Amino acid sequence: MNYSLTLTNWVARIGAGDSIAMERVFNRYFDQLVRLAVQKMHGLNQVSRSGEDIALSAIKSLYLGIRKDQIQLDTEEDLWGCLFCITVRKAVAERRWEYAAKRGAGRRVFSGDQELDDDGNELFDTVAGNEPSPELASQMAESADELLSLFDEQSTQHQILSMKLQGLSVQEIGEKLNLMPRTVFWHLEKIRERWEFFKGMEFLTENILQGMSIPRVAKAMEKEEEFIRNFLDKILLFWEQKSSKQECDLLRMIWEKPDDFEALLEHRNLEAVKLEKQLGKIGDQWLRLGKTEWKKDLSKFWAGKNK
């Protein structure tokens, strides 16, 4: 987490187009935006635009929006939230552009008995490609391992996923496992749901523990604010069993009352200072639990099946 009051004096100047303040924005946020863009374009060949290109474009869009009075900034949170959303949108647009260029106009859509998106391959675009570079091959391997880790090795979905990552078609997988193609497609959809849940939880955990507000997170994820709050409440309900109510109250303060949490840090509150140092470990633990003992309840909640 990177709370700071040192920026409050010059954040307001950005709205007036101050070039020095804008340079500080670049120096402070450029590397973070590059990492964010690379993460969002993970697995792409990125032959058209790099993470640096996306980050520069996002900062430029911010500047232009300010000059045209289309963007209003009052706090550091507004500044980061705006840059974050712009970068994510540009990276997502880049993914869509590359997918469209790769697939061409002959794309099919699964409905009922129809096939799913070129034999179900859309889910695996981040872990498949033609003659990838060593760097991309390494990224693909990491993505494949992460995806496989979400399923028990003895499960049907793990077997289907392993075969799909090896390049087998739905028909071939069905023949090997004695399953109908429709059943294979059903499993692929469940795999997709699990992957989307885990990546969503990963995104939410990383950003909410870095002090990004619920409205900003909800906007970036295209979710309702109430859903984000309820999901976080559910995480804290489980987490309290492994930590304490006091720690959970402080965690909730980070995204509900960040100014109060910052005040505790300024006054060197021992519990708040200790918690801030542990946020990275807490986030990692939440993700591990999201893969294991929490996954059933949280994934159902994420999919709207909690009623």
Which two three-digit tokens encode residue 249?
């109250």
Quick one: average pLDDT of 82-106? 64
Cβ–Cβ under 8 Å, residues 16 and 74: no
Token readout for 76 is 């550091």
pTM of the full predicted structure? 0.55
Same domain, yes or no, for 114 and 99? no
169 belongs to a structural domain: yes
Would you say residue 227 lies in a domain? yes
- pLDDT at residue 249 tops 50: yes
Q: Return the half-sphere exposure (C-beta side, CA atoms, 13 A cut-off) of residue 48.
A: 14
In this structure, the answer to whether residues 86 and 122 fall within a common structural domain is: no
Angle between helices 181-208 and 270-291 (to 10 degrees): 170
- For residue 251, what are the contacts with CB-CB under 8 A and spacing of at least 6? 209, 236, 239, 275, 282
Domain extent at residue 244? 209-307
The pLDDT tens digits for 37-50 are: 887 776 555 445 67
State which of 143-157, 191-205, 266-280 shows the largest mean pLDDT. Answer: 266-280
Query: What is the spatial distance between Cα 96 and Cα 88, in angstroms, rounded to a whole number?
Result: 12
CA angle 302, 223, 207 (to 5 degrees): 85
- Least Cα distance to 5 among 75, 62, 73 occurs for 75
The stretch 95-118 carries a mean pLDDT of: 42
One-letter amino acid for residue 179 of the chain: L
Round to whole Å and give the CA distance between 93 and 37.
Answer: 11
Lowest mean pLDDT across 84-88, 107-111, 228-232: 107-111
Task: For residues 111 and 268, give the distance between their C-alpha atoms in angstroms, rounded to a whole number.
Answer: 58
pLDDT the model gives residue 147? 78
Same domain, 95 and 142: no
First to last CA, the chain: 34
Work out how many domains the chain is built from and give that number.
Answer: 3
CATH number at residue 22: 1.10.1740
Domain final position from 162, 195, 228: 195
> Tokens standing for 29?
């946020």
Residue 272 has pLDDT above 80, yes or no: yes
What pLDDT does residue 116 have?
Answer: 36
Q: Which residue has the higher pLDDT, 5 or 258?
A: 258
Predicted pLDDT at 295: 87
Q: What is the DSSP letter of 152?
A: -
Res 55 pLDDT > 50: yes
Q: What is the CA radius of gyration of the chain?
A: 22
Q: Is there a single domain that holds both residue 1 and residue 91?
A: yes
Residue finishing a domain among 69, 104, 139? 104
AA letter at 245: K
- Total residues found in the chain within this entry: 307
Contacts of 189 (CB under 8 A, 6+ apart): 116
